[in-house]
Chain A
Amino acid sequence: MRLALTKLIPLALLLAAWQAASGAGVLPKSVLPSFVDVAASLAAMVRTGEIWPHTAASLGRAGAGFLIAVVAGVSLGLVMARVRAVEQGAEPILLLLYPVPKPAMIPLFMIWLGIGDFSKIAVIALACLLPVVVATFNGARSVDDILLWSARARGTSERRLLWRVILPAALPQVAAGVRTAIAVAIIVLVSSEFISSEKGLGYLIFSFGGVGADDAMLAVVIYLAILGYLLDRFYMAGIRRLLSWHAFTH
Chain B
Amino acid sequence: MSEPALACLELSGVGMRYGEGDKALTALTSIELAIAEHEFVTIVGPSGCGKSTLLYLIAGFLRPTAGSLQLRGKPITKPGPDRGIVFQRYSLFPWLTVRANIGYGLAEQGTPRAERDRIVAEYVRMVHLEGCEDRYPRELSGGMQQRVALAQALACKPDILLMDEPFGALDAQTRRILQDEVRRIWRGGAATVLFITHDVEEAVALGTRIVVMSARPGRIKEVLTRDFDVGDGEDYDANPAFTRLKLRVWHSVKEEVDAARA
Contacts and interface: CB of A to CB of B under 8 A. Distances in A.
Interface in A163-210: 164-165, 168-169, 171
A165 B104 CA distance: 11
Contacts of B81: 153-155
A137 B109 CA distance: 29
A112 interface: no
Given A150-B87, A152-B61, A246 B109 contact: no
B3 interface: no
Given A146-B90, A147-B93, A149-B61, A156 B108 contact: yes
Interface in B114-155: 136-138, 152
Interface of A: 144, 146-147, 149-156, 160, 164-165, 168-169, 171, 243-247
A244 B137 CA distance: 11
Nearest to B108: A155
Contacts, number: 70
A149 B109 contact: no
15 contacts: A146-B90, A150-B91, A152-B79, A153-B80, A153-B85, A154-B108, A154-B156, A155-B81, A155-B156, A164-B108, A168-B93, A169-B94, A245-B94, A245-B138, A246-B94
Given A149-B59, A244-B136, 19 more contacts: A144-B90, A146-B87, A146-B89, A147-B93, A150-B90, A150-B91, A150-B93, A153-B59, A153-B60, A153-B79, A153-B84, A153-B85, A154-B105, A155-B109, A160-B108, A164-B108, A169-B93, A245-B138, A247-B138
A154 B104 contact: yes
Contacts of B95: 168-169, 171, 243, 245-246
Nearest to A171: B95
Nearest to B110: A155
A154 to B, nearest CB: 4
Nearest to B86: A150
Contacts of A160: 108
Contacts of A246: 94-95, 138
Contacts of B60: 152-153
A160 B105 CA distance: 13
B219 interface: no
B105 A165 contact: no
Contacts of B84: 153
Nearest to B79: A152
B108 A146 contact: no
A144 B87 CA distance: 12
A17 B96 CA distance: 51
A154 B91 CA distance: 11
A171 B94 CA distance: 11
A71 B156 CA distance: 35
Contacts of A153: 59-61, 79-81, 83-85
Nearest to A149: B61
Contacts of A168: 93, 95
Contacts of B59: 149, 153
